[in-house]
Structure 1
Amino acid sequence: MSFIPKLFVLATALALLTACGSKGGESNPQNMADDGKDCAKTDNGKGGNKKPTPPTNPNQVAINPAQEKAAGIQLGTFERQNMSTEVQANGSVEVPPGNRVSLTAIMGGYVQTVTVLPGEHVRTGETVATLRSPEYLTLQQNYLQSKAKVGFLAEDLERQRILDVEDVGAKRKLQMARADYATEQAALRATAAQLRLLGISVAHLDATGQIVSSVPLTTPIAGYVKAVNINPGQYVGPQDVLVEVLNHDDLHLELKVFEKDVAQVHPGQKILFQIKGAGRPDEVLTARVFLVGQAFDDNARTVRVHAHLEPERTDLLPGQFIAARIQTAGQRVRTLPEAALIQAGELSYIFQRVGSDSGRVVFRRLKVRAGQPQHGDVPITVLDPLPDTTGLVRQGAYFLNAELTKGAGED
């Protein structure tokens, strides 16, 4: 009879081992009691490696008021603004061709003096250099000789007229006198015009007969000297640019717009631009399109667009490089500050305040589509219906996103 109770105890121990599982692979009768205790602890939830329960909503995060204050979270709603679509373009500050002068020598000669420096302001008609050459002396000599010959031929023509009236002289001599007089007058006028081009006063030469050895090089416009390419003693020809002068009274922008964007650009559109490397990167200036080119540059496939400054300015320098945004269209859209968005490729995230739970503030992350930022604000397109009055995080979104993804990083 004693065999039956022993068999019953052994069957009970095997059942416990089967239910809980053995740690060593084979059952050990001496450790059955300990295994039973471990099994009991596991059943009570007080031991073992239990996997954490995932959150009910992976796009929700809850923070306490102290965290909210420390992160500087600011709440608000959408704002409706007129946001323009923009075309990006680069270019430079320029002056019209009429405000840019390249001074050259009408006739070749040697530089005698240079009276200006680059950056210096000059007035209209001011002398910037003087030139000398034997050819200038020869030209004045030819003028005086031609003038004297014209006087002689005029007297001879008058004599031939008198003889013709008295029917004494031959008609042929009168005709020859007229031809010679007209020919010499033409030569005199041409020589006088050449002297005026050189800057030599014909009236002074007529009055005094004094031949000058040097001629002045003067500027036809007022402005600033851009470049001086000569020095005393240098020989220069008509093809050489000696001095360049720019007038800053009519500065404008010359932009290069790519072929894909040029159809959106029209006269009258507003331009926002900044000067590159001018020590004032935050200053935004304005201009307005007044001319769109009608041909492409062969190499870059761009079209030149010209714009007037608004208001006109004279403190910019021709040749300064600029980065411009041409505002091509506009519409009233929802906007949020840049600090309210988390960039994530084509889509972005914003946070909505959904309520509180056990003293903690609960926020939900929402997917949106963001446009091009303008002046710190970003146009927003919501993917799900959302009223304008929805409570949103306008500042501190990065802190909430870090709290939301912190657990995911640990997993």
Structure 2
Amino acid sequence: MFFKLNLTALAGTMALLAACGTKPDTAQKAAPAAAPAAPPNPDEVTVGAAQLQAAGVALGTFERQNMTTEVQANGSVEVPPQNRVSITAIMGGYVQTVAVLAGERVAAGAVVATLRSPEYLTLQQNYLQSKARVRFLAEDLERQRILDVEDVGAKRKLQQARADYASEQATLHATAAQLRLLGISVARLDATGQIVASVPLTTPIGGYVKAVNVNPGQYVNPQDVLVEVLNRDDLHLELKVFEKDVAKVQVGQKILFKIQNANRDEELTARVFLVGKAFDDDARTVRVHAHFEPERRDLLPGQFVAARIQTAGARVQTLPEGALIQAGDLSYIFRRVSQDSGRTTFRRVRVRAGQPQHGDVAVTILDPLPDTTQLVRKGAYFLDAELRKGEGGDE
């Protein structure tokens, strides 16, 4: 009887254990399936604090400053036409001496070369002969006047004497003017009667000799340029502005420019004082002239320049150039969106960028952001590289 009861109890216990063993499986089968993870934002990148420090990433906000719009122009350093002279021979002749070298400084009136020619001798001879004839005709005219007063001479002879005297005087004055153009002293010729074989060529302005194009013994014609002289006292910029930009340029605007092909990277300044009123028909450009600020004495006429004419100004939001990623017509910046457990998440934001000025760029935010938003001001290219690396991994 006792044995029968124990068997019954054992059977009950095993049934209870079997029931308990099946409950976990049933509960596991009844558990709902886990939700799939959300896909990462393609404009976000998360990096650690050590990476940010190694890449030199710096955060900050927008700055507001006056940024100008600019017109790009090329040109050169020039002098006005009255400060540039090309010395030629009034009459053809042979070069006897050359008195200057290229680069030499000369004063106004200085002799740069001397010429000689038989024609110079003939011209002085003609002057002396004409002068003697004028003296004879003056005396003859006086005699005819006396005779006319005494009613002895004919009226026709008086008129002829007067005409001959006036004609020869004109010849004398013309010959004297030619001698002065040649540089021969008429006063000395009158005083001494001595004919000289050579004539000096002088410079009408002081300055530096730009070029010497002759040598002794060479025959030169009146159209040949023998020596060129430049006066650098009025150096200025001469720029060529395209037709589409001319309306933006006005007198008084500031110009920033650099000398092309120069060893120095210095940016110089000038200010517009004259805007041309006619187009160059070939290039469709207008000439703009500007004075240096301050005056520059170390520049040379003919040096080419690349210039930026500052045409307008406005106070706008700006970021350093290193904060922007160029992407065609649009650019990108990075803003901080979260920070957790030593890791920071940044999101890419679309902007429209202006022209860089002094390392800063005016930006227009296409998706509005508060001015207090923490932005990446330095190291944007590192974050862009990390973002692209993540895009490559997803593919």
Q: 1:338 maps to what in 2?
A: 321
Q: 1:174 maps to what in 2?
A: 158
How many Å separate the matches in 2 of 1:237 and 1:213? 18
Q: 2:60 maps to what in 1?
A: 76
Residue type matched to 1:215 in 2? V
How many Å separate the matches in 2 of 1:176 and 1:208? 32
Residue type matched to 2:128 in 1? L
Q: 1:312 maps to what in 2?
A: 295
Q: 2:385 maps to what in 1?
A: 402
Contact 2:42/2:391, CA 8 A, preserved across alignment: no
How many Å separate the matches in 2 of 1:346 and 1:54? 32
Kindly state the Cα deviation for residue 158 of structure 1 after the two structures are TM-superposed: 1.9
How many Å separate the matches in 2 of 1:54 and 1:95? 71
Change (3 A) 1:359 1:229: same
| Residues 1:298 and 2:284 aligned together | no
| Residues 1:270 and 2:254 aligned together | yes
Change (3 A) 1:54 1:243: farther
Kindly state the Cα deviation for residue 179 of structure 1 after the two structures are TM-superposed: 1.5
Residue type matched to 1:192 in 2? A
After superposition, residues 189-268 of structure 1 pair within 5 angstroms as: 189-268=173-252
How many Å separate the matches in 1 of 2:104 and 2:371? 59
Residue type matched to 1:258 in 2? F
Kindly state the Cα deviation for residue 131 of structure 1 after the two structures are TM-superposed: 0.5
After superposition, residues 100-139 of structure 1 pair within 5 angstroms as: 100-139=84-123
After superposition, give the CA deviation of every residue in 1:82-115 in whole Å (9 maximum; x if it has no partner). 1111111111111111111111110011111111
| Residues 1:144 and 2:132 aligned together | no
Q: 2:310 maps to what in 1?
A: 327
Residue type matched to 1:146 in 2? S
SS of the equivalent of 1:289 reads strand
Residue type matched to 1:94 in 2? E
TM-score scaled by structure 1?
Answer: 0.84
After superposition, residues 371-390 of structure 1 pair within 5 angstroms as: 371-390=354-373
Residue type matched to 1:90 in 2? N
How many Å separate the matches in 1 of 2:391 and 2:45? 12
Residue type matched to 1:85 in 2? T
| Residues 1:154 and 2:138 aligned together | yes
Kindly state the Cα deviation for residue 164 of structure 1 after the two structures are TM-superposed: 2.3
Residue type matched to 2:46 in 1? A
SS of the equivalent of 1:367 reads strand
How many Å separate the matches in 2 of 1:237 and 1:82? 60
How many Å separate the matches in 2 of 1:278 and 1:151? 67
Kindly state the Cα deviation for residue 254 of structure 1 after the two structures are TM-superposed: 1.6
Kindly state the Cα deviation for residue 395 of structure 1 after the two structures are TM-superposed: 0.8
How many Å separate the matches in 2 of 1:287 and 1:363? 43
| Residues 1:165 and 2:149 aligned together | yes
Instruction: For structure 2, list consecutive stretches of 5 or more residues without a partner in the other structure.
Output: 1-27, 29-35
After superposition, give the CA deviation of every residue in 1:303-342 in whole Å (9 maximum; x if it has no partner). 2222222222221111111111111211111111101111
After superposition, residues 30-41 of structure 1 pair within 5 angstroms as: none
SS of the equivalent of 1:277 reads coil
Kindly state the Cα deviation for residue 55 of structure 1 after the two structures are TM-superposed: 5.2
| Residues 1:361 and 2:317 aligned together | no
How many Å separate the matches in 2 of 1:266 and 1:93? 20
| Residues 1:279 and 2:263 aligned together | yes
Residue type matched to 2:86 in 1? S
Kindly state the Cα deviation for residue 239 of structure 1 after the two structures are TM-superposed: 1.1
Q: 2:335 maps to what in 1?
A: 352
Residue type matched to 1:83 in 2? M
Residue type matched to 1:87 in 2? V
Contact 2:334/2:376, CA 8 A, preserved across alignment: yes
How many Å separate the matches in 2 of 1:54 and 1:273? 54
Q: Which moved more, 1:94-103 or 1:253-262?
A: 253-262
How many Å separate the matches in 1 of 2:38 and 2:85? 76
How many Å separate the matches in 2 of 1:359 and 1:389? 22
Identity %: 81
Q: 1:14 maps to what in 2?
A: none
Kindly state the Cα deviation for residue 389 of structure 1 after the two structures are TM-superposed: 2.3
How many Å separate the matches in 2 of 1:257 and 1:53? 59
Instruction: For structure 1, list consecutive stretches of 5 or more residues without a partner in the other structure.
Output: 1-43, 45-51
After superposition, give the CA deviation of every residue in 1:240-295 in whole Å (9 maximum; x if it has no partner). 11111111111122212222222222222221111100211x21111222222233
Number of equivalences? 360
How many Å separate the matches in 2 of 1:250 and 1:388? 49
SS of the equivalent of 2:244 reads coil
SS of the equivalent of 2:381 reads helix
